[in-house]
Structure formats: structure tokens, C-alpha cells
Amino acid sequence: DIQMTQSPSSLSASVGDRVTITCQASQDISNYLNWYQQKPGKAPKLLIYDASNLETGVPSRFSGSGSGTDFTFTISSLQPEDIATYYCQQYDNLLSFGGGTKVEIK
Amino acid sequence: QVQLQESGPGLVKPSQTLSLTCTVSGGSISSGDYYWSWIRQPPGKGLEWIGYIYYSGSTYYNPSLKSRVTISVDTSKNQFSLKLSSVTAADTAVYYCATPGYWGQGTLVTVSS
């Protein structure tokens, strides 16, 4: 099975800061990667699919890049409503999730 | 707009079988080549994929749970179901059903005597 290593596990940043999360796959997954946002008590919400495509209705401050084994998720200007836990998920071979990154406001 | 809704007991005794159903509305479970997943999240922890099924009935499971999991589909009811056998407290979690782009709201299942 494919292991997804996500880092950091948590971060604290100020409003307006650029935030970057990385996700590394244990083998080549091409671009078969999603990024999700999960707020407390809610189901995860898809933000980015196919590594870099923005889901309809998602603000453009969210972006994703990468292919193969190394991927990056970026919030260009952190907003208070972005406080959440973010997960990467591969779907190249079955499904598996990264461990999550909890984003807090400094 | 596809909607998914989980249903089933919120409390299961240790060693028993957890059974949940996901009802799909706003779309047919038989249309398209989509997979229908079960995913769980223990309290305060991350997401774990359990398995998925295609409308044809083909199933794929997380190797770590495969010996205890059965996922089935009922296209006539537009539902798919999860059975997890021999549960322990470690199986306490919010269980989600999902398909690409859409998730249910989740249902908490507690394993306790």
C-alpha cells in the first residue's frame, strides 16, 4: 500500500501569511492527489483534485502543485476562516490519506 | 447535487458486527464509473480509508482491515453498506460514506459494552 507522509503536523501563522504544507508519497502516484479541508465536527471538503486543480467554488488563495512523489499545498494569504485541518489523499492505488496538518492562527 | 447519508446503530458491543448503510440521493449509484467509499476517523485522529465498491459489485479494501470488512451495494435502493466484524474499542470512530467530490455528514459509532 502507498504511504502518505504529510508535514508539518501542525502550524501557527498570522492572518495574511503564506502557508505551505507538503505531502510525500511512498511511490510514484503521478498526479492522483487530492487536498481536503476539515473543520471540527464537519466532513472533509475537497479543495484540490489531480494535484493542482481547484474545485469549483474554492477561493483562489488555495493552490496545489507537484507530481510523482512530492506535492505541495499552499494558502497564499491565510484568512481566519481557513483554520482547519488539511489532508492529502492519493487515489493512484486504492486510497490513503496523509496524517493531516492542523492550521492555527498565531 | 449528489447527497449521501449514513445510517445505523450508534453503539455496538465489543466482538459484534458494526453495520452501516449509506443512502445516495440526487444521483444514481449505477451511473458512471465511480467508486463508493467508507472512511472513518477515530475521535481526535486522522482519516482512514476502509474500502470502496463499484456499482458492479467489485470491492477493494484497506489491507489492514480486509479480514473484517465487507462492503456491498444495493442498486435497487441506491444504497451501499459496510459490515465490520469483531469490533473493539479501537473501532470507535466517525464513519463517513463518500464518492469522489461528495461526502456524507458522518455518523459516530461507539464500541462499548
Identify the CA nearest to A64 among candidates A49, A81, A79.
A49
Collect all residues of chain A within an 8 Å Cβ-Cβ radius of residue B96. Answer: 43-44
pLDDT at B56 (0 to 100): 87
Q: Is B49 within 8 Å of A44 when comparing Cβ atoms?
A: no
Whether omega before B9 lies within 30 degrees of 0, making that bond cis, reads no
Contacts of A46 in chain B (CB under 8 A): 101
Within 10 angstroms of residue B30's Cβ, the number of other Cβ atoms is 14
Question: A95–B46: do the CB atoms touch at under 8 Å?
Answer: no
List CB contacts (< 8 A) between B63 and chain A.
1
Q: What is the pLDDT of residues A35-71, one digit of tens each?
A: 999 999 999 999 999 999 999 999 999 999 999 999 9
Residue in B46, B49, B103 nearest the CB of A95: B49
Q: What is the mean pLDDT of each run of 10 residues along chain B (113 residues)?
A: 96 98 94 90 98 93 97 95 98 97 97 97
A37, β-bridge pairs: A45, A86
> Searching chain B, which residue's CA lies closest to the CA of residue A88?
B47
Residue A95 has pLDDT above 80, yes or no: yes
Rounded CA separation A24/A68 (Å): 9
What integer pLDDT is reported at residue B5 of this predicted model? Answer: 98
